[in-house]
């Protein structure tokens, strides 16, 4: 892909379970920070904050590096839900409104540029929402209004696992789609990646193998 993800784009990072979506999303932010190119927020619902840090450190990413500690903030919405459940308040919370408010507050206070959201499907399990498609649109528009670059993690859905996201509109609202697959040949399983869509930049179509290179703390595409 020519020049990476364009600034201000919202990109879906979509794949099946086990395709390392969270690891790829965090590593994209981590390596951009380590190269001095940006700062960002990682919103997690899939793992707690401590678990996420332990996971990424185990892969070789130095989450205690001063550059990381000063340039990546982690919002743990799962922990917030536990606290609100204990107070009997979780069902009455406007989760999308609270999320957007938190992002705006962080944006004003520390001036971050990138948000990684892990994951869209998990967010909608927080509470029942009457119009989830409207909430997806609301979230994407808020990211654009704040001038952020967004990496939104979601599961492949549908009987054939060919739908990008739970509601079937996520790929239309996004500027880019990165699809992660796991292909089985006999007893071997290989992870592959494709840039299905990326506005305003040239990219190669097709699926390429990718793997984690612990010596460089980044994913490589073969």
Name the residue among 114, 124, 98 with its Cα closest to residue 45.
124
Domains of the chain: 13-179 (3.40.50.300)
DSSP string, 23-52: HHHHHHHHHHHHTTS--EEEEESSS-HHHH
Cα dihedral 57→59→18→209 (10° resolution)? 150
CA distance 168 to 121: 12
Which segments of the chain have a pLDDT < 70? Answer: 1
CA distance 152 to 174: 9
pTM score above 0.75: yes
Per-residue pLDDT of 87-132, as tens digits, reads: 777 777 888 998 999 999 999 988 999 999 999 999 988 877 889 9
The mean predicted confidence, pLDDT, of the chain is 92
């Amino acid at each position: 892909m020519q020049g990476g993800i364009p600034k201000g784009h919202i990109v879906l990072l979509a794949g099946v379970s086990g395709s390392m979506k969270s690891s790829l999303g965090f590593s994209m932010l981590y390596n951009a920070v380590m190269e001095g190119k940006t700062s960002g927020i990682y919103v997690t619902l899939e793992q707690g904050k401590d678990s996420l840090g332990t996971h990424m450190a185990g892969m070789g990413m130095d989450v205690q590096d001063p550059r990381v500690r000063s340039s990546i903030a982690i919002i743990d919405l799962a922990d917030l839900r536990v606290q609100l459940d204990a107070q009997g308040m979780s069902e009455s919370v406007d989760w999308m409104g609270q999320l957007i408010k938190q992002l705006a507050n962080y944006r004003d206070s520390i001036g971050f540029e990138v948000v990684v959201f892990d994951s869209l499907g998990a967010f909608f399990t927080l509470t029942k929402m009457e119009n989830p498609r409207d909430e997806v649109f609301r979230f994407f528009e808020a990211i654009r209004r704040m001038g952020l670059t967004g990496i939104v993690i979601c599961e492949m859905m549908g009987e054939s696992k060919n739908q990008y996201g739970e509601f079937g509109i996520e790929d239309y609202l996004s500027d880019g789609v990165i699809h992660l697959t796991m292909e089985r040949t006999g007893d071997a399983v290989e992870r592959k990646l494709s840039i299905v869509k990326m506005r305003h930049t040239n990219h190669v179509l097709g699926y390429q193998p990718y793997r984690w290179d612990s010596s460089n703390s980044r994913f490589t595409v073969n």
